[in-house]
Structure 1
């Protein structure tokens, strides 16, 4: 082979590898349908691309377990996670790092989960859950039912909005979901039975192996010290600013997880 051609091919494949290394991946939790989630998070992804001067690919997974397994496999660099998925991920993959908790419209950096039913249905037999690794799923509903969820029929539906809709449709008598999502259905007749103690708000999690310490600091600062004009472009879950996350923020949840086995499937 001609030496010039060899050098050209070598340089070409080096550039391809460099480009692949510069492409990062962001994954959000599937709390609502794909289109809604994309609209919520695309502006933040675009903002981080500019801050890092790197391309960020947006990937959607339908279940929490796939997010955790792909993160551990090094296929995810950024993730928007609730506290339970993060605690589980951190337990299995210590390089996962929570950078910030996103605040809500009241400026709070915590949230709650609600057990709901409809105003017209007083039965307490079938319960709709989100996902096994959802903070508002089995873990929270079991706590709100005095650890007696095993005595009820329950099924995992996936998304928080689906839990609300299926309870409203009468397919389930009760359901567990994020309180601020539940409130969006109160005008349709959804009724709140009980609420959990506050959990750390959903967080931006990174694979710390993908970034230098300076890049990690830059990402954190870019999210903490962002102007309101930019935030106004972002979706509801992340448009009210953020506070720095600490790993000890999740210790109360770790205590809740002691002596409990979360089933991976429903019981009917």
Structure 2
């Protein structure tokens, strides 16, 4: 019996040890949100991956996915360990997998970690969203925060819904803006920064949202240890590219979505996105 007890004890310790080691893989897979072509993502995120390797003392592989659906499946299946996400994809996947945890929020060139969504139209069309019905709207894609989610929220403020008219998914903020300028649609649901790029061609902002969170880095705590997540967070928060020349030089070749620095995550920033997401069914989002 003593021999059997000792054997069971050893097996139990081995199982615990194996479990603990499984929490930290020998190499990590990082995937950025597929917001650009593969060459652009390779150029912009390869130097960031090298920085992650120094922060973690682990090999980090850059995984380029063809769609958010592929990135999402990789996270759910524990094949992807770290990812750069937008707020809506983060809210959606964290509701499905509690092990998805935020690490840092990236700031833009102005030092802000948020953005503003808007509805824009061509000034010459004189569209009034309060009276012109039905409307034909160009949206970015299902998982874009400034796409269906915030466009529907803004339209509801005018007693209207995307379900009452027609809409298309263009695939990118720029294409949605161009859909309006080409006369393909009446309205575009896009980030305010994109609308301002085309103001000189007659694109007019007709309503805008309160600030919403921007891009963030997330970790899969099932495959990345608490210590490694903390190390990544600490190293990124130390960087101050907007005010420190050395840090600016370090990050200047990083993708523009992540090169300006980061701040600590405020969970309350995502409550509004989560509340909106729970009130609507967005066509194209996998249940």
TM-score (norm 2): 0.77
Following superposition, the deviation at residue 197 of structure 1 comes to: 1.1
Return the match for 1:55 from 40, 56, 59.
59
Match of 1:121 among 113, 121, 125: 125
How far has the Cα of 1:71 moved from its partner? Answer: 1.0
**Structure 2 CA distance for partners of 1:190 and 1:24, relative to 1, 3 Å:** farther
User: After alignment, is 247-256 or 89-98 more displaced?
Assistant: 247-256
1:32 and 1:160 in contact (8 A); partners too: no
Residue 65 of structure 1 contacts residue 133 of structure 1 at CA under 8 Å; is this kept in 2? no
2:68 corresponds to 1:64: yes
2:85 counterpart residue number = 81
1:142 to 137, 144, 152: 152
Q: Which residue in the other structure is 1:96 paired with?
A: 100
* Corresponding residue number in structure 2 for 1:40: 44
State the partner residue of 1:13. Answer: none
Larger radius of gyration: 2
CA RMSD for the aligned pairs? 2.3
Gaps of 5+ in 2: 1-24, 240-246
Q: Among residues 257, 274, 285, which one is paired with 1:254 in the alignment?
A: 274
Aligned length: 246
Asked if 2 retains the 8 angstrom alpha-carbon contact of 1:98 and 1:246, the reply is: no
Deviation at 1:68, TM superposition (A): 1.9
User: Is 2:204 aligned against 1:195?
Assistant: no
CA contact (8 A) 1:62 1:158 kept: no
Q: The residue matched to 1:43 in structure 2 has which SS?
A: helix
**1:63–1:158 contact (8 Å) kept in structure 2:** no
Q: Comparing 158-167 with 203-212, which one deviates more in the overlay?
A: 158-167
Residues 109-161 of structure 1: CA distance to partner in whole angstroms, max 9, x if unpaired? 21111212233334563211122222111110011112511112111222223
| Greater alpha carbon shift after TM alignment, 95-104 vs 239-248 | 239-248
Q: 2:109 aligns with which of 105, 109, 115?
A: 105
* Deviating more after overlay: 56-65 vs 199-208: 56-65
Residues of 1 paired with 2:144 and 2:268: CA distance?
19
Pick closer, same or farther for the CA change 1:167–1:31 going to 2, 3 Å. Answer: farther
Q: TM-score if structure 1 supplies the norm length? A: 0.82
